[in-house]
Structure 1
């Protein structure tokens, strides 16, 4: 049995979803019948049906009284899903543009309120895999010379995000080295992803174990991701550090681990 909430996910209101489900039960219904079957207030049902017709989910036939018929779900819901996807894409573009505009406007205010000596100016604390993933992708996209990455379980990024995270620097000719441990390479599909990216210039080596997740971008910034030690489902806190000394120290540790690791598939 389809619930009203399943249709509201496509952008319908609760009353619109109830009216469409009611219309599916017979070839034609009067507004009064739709109101009764869908538990919709009589004074609202005419507006609801007019909105459904505008959205391509029902057709009206003049008569006394006027009757309404549902458009087949294969047609109606496909069109609704496309419009919903377009709406979400517009909202995403608007949100990204607003974030850029507000960042430019609020950045000077933030700086003036803290001064150049504020230690927090060098660090960002992120929680949750979604926020960490978005920040990691932004840092990878902004790198200009090299990326050193230690990858260990549990993985934060999805397969698609991992591909984007690595392809963004590779597509601009950066030196990108990924150091993975054996358990991570055993993750379903991950070894195949590494092989594909190795063909695009990714340098991969395998270590038995790695102490933590780390990415160093150029010689300027490092991203360190740490799992909550309490256990349970993966829960991460990450720190982005904008400090050349910290980046240099982490790169030295990376070089030590890299030297003792084995190339993936014989590659260097």
Structure 2
């Protein structure tokens, strides 16, 4: 009854089905890995927000040393002096669907090294996203900051110097260190608290959690699709046997009449 499954056509269907199911399983596994990564990141965000601030030097390494596992979104504190002369603007950054600049100011620590502090976001001048707005200056003198660790961004682009100020698209501490007169800790800090407070207002950079469940749902969806492939193959084979049986019955009737 099922001898037709050994035909070239049906063997081709089987091969295509196996390859399609394998691809769907791999896509499901990839989405599951994304779900796990996003869930872990969300847990770090939540845990970091409740933790007691740690000294920044205990969390971020100097130079191109790798940050220890779990350091992203850690809550840190640091005391030093802002170096406004070497302030960095990260352009093309979006907050609440508006484009502007993130203002990153090196905080020089007592040991002579510095940590990059993202003091916040300011909207670009309407009609010209590259025009530099008036940046509120940082406090002078000793300052203590509290913030959340953000790892250096990957795939950094060229560092530009415009009107004496550094501008970047992506914030990479190891890249920026080559343009600064002191060693820089590998990572930067999203400012949440500052003593004394700064004059002027910058919008704090929001710390967002990721939609982990969406990736989890996609993983289950791909796995269900993979499970439906053999079901679909079985259904098609059953239909083929019914069609062959119906055709054989018709031929028998015709032969009898004749």
* Structure with bigger RCO (C-alpha 8 Å, 6+ apart): 2
What TM-score, normalized to structure 1? 0.27
Which structure has the highest helix share of the two?
1
Report which of the two structures shows the higher radius of gyration computed on alpha carbons: 2
Which structure has the highest strand share of the two?
2
What TM-score, normalized to structure 2? 0.27
